[in-house]
């Protein structure tokens, strides 16, 4: 009896066992192929245990399915618990340390890096590049670009600006031309 069950589940590279596991895993999202391989390995262990405990009072398929569901749920719970444990270990740089002074961990770390200056410098540089780019566009191209930024469709822009398909295409080609956009890089 056990040999027949074994042959059924492990025929064609354990296809029936994998299909059963896939059916269970379909209820859970966000699993990678590596996760699936882990659960297939876990299913092999559960299969061996289930075949040893099977008493023939119910169909083996149902018995194995329940065993697999319980083990997979337990494993997913364990993995989620480990993720939460790692989150609790993380310490914020803004966390107060010590009982007095209201000092934070960030204040104790010696560093000359100024994040705000870095962000504003990049923002200023990008604003300058964008301004130079816009100076290269014609008035018509700027109007098309403005409407595109508001998510208007091509046909709507053509209608609003009284443009032909060719005029619209030329304006978009001008907006996208490498000579103009290279300033943004």
End-to-end CA, the chain = 70
Q: Give which of 24, 77, 79 is closest to 46, Cα–Cα.
A: 24
Spatial CA neighbour of 64 closest among 55, 54, 74, 72: 54
pLDDT of 69-82, one tens digit each? Answer: 899 889 888 888 88
Query: Given this model, what pLDDT does residue 47 score?
Result: 84
| CA distances from residue 83 to 37, 55, 75, 88, 169 in whole angstroms, order as listed | 20, 38, 12, 9, 51
Give the angle 49-53-55 at the CA atoms, nearest 5°.
150
C-alpha angle with apex 68: 67 to 71, nearest 5 degrees? 85
Cα 7 from Cα 13, distance rounded (Å): 10
CA distance 43 to 17: 7
pLDDT per residue as tens digits for the range 85-109:
766 666 777 777 776 667 777 777 7
Residue range 139-150: mean pLDDT, rounded? 92
pTM exceeds 0.75 for this model? no
Predicted pLDDT at 159: 94
Whole-angstrom distance, CA of residue 50 vs CA of residue 69 = 12
- Give the separation between CA 138 and CA 131, rounded to whole angstroms: 13
Q: What are the angstrom distances between the C-alpha of 34 and each of 101, 149, 159?
A: 48, 41, 52
């Amino acid at each position: 009896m056990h040999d027949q069950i074994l042959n059924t589940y492990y025929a064609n590279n354990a296809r029936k066992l994998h299909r059963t596991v896939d059916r269970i895993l379909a209820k859970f999202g966000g699993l990678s192929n590596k996760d699936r391989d882990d659960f297939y390995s876990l299913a092999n262990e559960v299969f061996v245990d289930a075949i040893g405990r099977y008493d023939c009072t119910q169909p083996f398929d149902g018995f194995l399915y329940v065993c697999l569901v319980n083990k997979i749920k337990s494993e997913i719970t364990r993995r989620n618990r480990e993720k939460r444990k790692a989150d609790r270990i993380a310490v914020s740089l803004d966390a107060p340390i010590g009982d007095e002074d209201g000092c934070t961990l960030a204040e104790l770390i010696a560093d000359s890096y100024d994040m705000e200056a870095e962000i504003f410098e990049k923002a200023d540089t990008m604003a300058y590049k964008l301004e130079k780019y816009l100076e290269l566009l014609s008035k018509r191209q700027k109007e098309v670009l403005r409407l595109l930024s508001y998510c208007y469709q091509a046909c709507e822009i053509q209608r609003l600006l009284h443009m032909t398909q060719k005029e619209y295409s030329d304006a978009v080609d001008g907006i996208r031309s490498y000579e103009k956009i290279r300033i943004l890089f």
